[in-house]
Amino acid sequence: MICPRMPSRLFIIPLVAALLLTGCQKDEVHAYRVPKEVPPPSSTVETAASDPAASAQSGLTWQAPSHWEELPANGVRRGSFNATNADGDTADISLIAFPGDVGGLAANLNRWRTQVGLDPLPEAEVQATIEHQDTPYFHLDFVNYLGEADGVPTRVAGAITSHGGESWFFKIIGPASIVDAELGAFREFLLTIAPSR
């Protein structure tokens, strides 16, 4: 390979410059003052649910089936329920909100798949598992995955939508026996989700 000879003492100049410039790219810790933020119109302050049948938290309301046991909400979990059958199998129903798109739809659905022992799918394939559902207020991306956890057939079903600058995840997960029995109630429940007034 043809290579021009460079005077040795000159070679150091661009090399040092390159190393110095490479090291200058980290942003510094900085301080500033901003006016207090006004929350978007549809956001409301998070409060603990007091009525098991109708919750109004952080911009959404919903009507949960009466046989679901309501659990306390917390920072990310805006709503939480348990459904239990006669055999003692329990399904966990959660309503969770995170800011932004939380890594994208495919990443979130693959996260659910791994929770029931299924392998993540490529973007196009995971998109094909989505059932698109329109409720009176939202368009939901609904999925239903059957896998296995601890040797027990386990199902996760859930829907994802965006509201108030956040991604909302409505999910039921547990042994397939109880989730299969509660799936109808869960889908009815999804239809009741509405923006709070």
Partner 1 sequence: MANSPNPFLKFFTSLRLTVVLLVTSLVLVFVATLAQVNLGIYGVQEMFFKSFLVWVEIPNLGFSLPVFPGGYLIGGFLMINLVTSHAYRFRLTWKKAGIQLTHFGLIVLLVGELITGILQEDFSLRLEEGETRNYSESFRRNEIVLIDKSDPTFDDVVAIPEAHLDDSDPIQHGQLPFRVVTRAHYPNANLTMLDTLPAGTPGVVANLSDEGIGPRLALLPAPFTYNDEERNLPAAFVELVGTDGSLGTWLLSPMLTQPQTFDYDGRTWEISFRFEREYKPFSLSLIELKHDIYPGSTIPKNFSSLVRLQTEDGSEDRESLIFMNEPLRHEGYTFYQYQMDSANGFSVLQVVRNPARSLPYVACVLMSLGLLWQFTFHLTKFARRRS
CA 32 to chain centre: 31
Number of residues that bind partner 1 (CB under 8 A): 60
Instruction: Identify which of residues 33 and 197 has a Cβ nearer to partner 1 in the complex.
Output: 33
Task: Decide if residue 34 touches partner 1 (CB under 8 A).
Answer: yes
Tell me how far, at minimum, the Cβ of 40 lies from partner 1, in Å.
4
Nearest to 48 by CA among 57, 36, 37: 57
Residue 39 CB: number of other CB atoms within 10 A? 11
**Sheet arrangement for strand 90-99:** 69-71, 77-84, 90-99, 166-175, 152-163, 139-149, 131-134
Task: Decide if residue 188 touches partner 1 (CB under 8 A).
Answer: no
Q: Taking the C-alpha atoms of 90, 177, 184 and 161 in order, what is their torsion angle to the nearest 10 degrees?
A: 60
Binding mask 115-134 for partner 1 (x = CB under 8 A): --------x----------x
The residue type at 109: L
Tell me how far, at minimum, the Cβ of 65 lies from partner 1, in Å.
19
Q: What is the CA radius of gyration of the chain?
A: 25
Question: Near partner 1 by CB under 8 A, which window of 49-57, 61-69, 91-99, 183-191?
Answer: 91-99
Footprint on this chain of partner 1 (rule: CB under 8 A): 1-7, 10, 14, 18-19, 21-22, 26-38, 40-42, 46, 74-77, 92, 94, 97-104, 106-107, 111, 123, 134, 138-139, 149-150, 161-166, 173
